Amino acid sequence: MEIVPAASAVIVDDQGRVLLVLRGHEPQKGRWSVPGGSAEPGETLEETAAREAFEETGVRVRIGRELWTVTLPTADGRLYEVHDFAATVIDGTLTPGDDAADARWVTAAELDELPLTAGLKDYFIGAGIIPPGPGD
């Protein structure tokens, strides 16, 4: 089974909002997630997270510590091994791009109103990005 290395950036601003993108392509098209994608040959996972954040949101980020790793199966039998990193904006203007249909800052309360990718809110809670709510 082929394992595809991938990385994402979990970008949080000074107000505690998380930067999410609306996935424009499969997997999970039409769901909100953190910007990320497959690593290119010779690229570190940190470089992948920063590049994908810029391509999908128009903002440049500083990559911090790794928060979690997720393994996601694909319909064609491959496995994406996605490493999610904490990140902070260093410059740029928020503009959805690449395979993101939209991009926006989201509060913890707004997460319950959006169709998120599978398990995303639980990962945010587990990493301390957002506090657990009454039903969590």
- Does 19 reside within a domain? yes
- Does 134 reside within a domain? no
- Does 133 reside within a domain? no
Q: Nearest-5° angle of CA 27, CA 30, CA 35?
A: 65
pLDDT in tens, 79-131: 999 999 999 999 999 999 878 899 999 999 999 999 999 899 999 999 999 98
Residue type, 14: D
Domain that holds residue 121: 3-126
Domain count, the chain: 1
- Does 132 reside within a domain? no
Q: Buried b vs exposed e over 18-43: b needs ≥16 C-beta within 10 Å? A: bbbbbbeeeeeeebbbbbbbebeeee
CA distance 98 to 44: 20
The pLDDT assigned to 114 comes to 96
CATH number of the domain that 47 lies in? Answer: 3.90.79.10
Q: The tokens 């989201």 sit on which residue?
A: 106
- Does 62 reside within a domain? yes
- Does 136 reside within a domain? no
pLDDT in tens, 28-63: 889 999 999 999 999 999 999 999 999 999 999 999
- Does 75 reside within a domain? yes
DSSP state of 117: P
The pLDDT assigned to 135 comes to 67
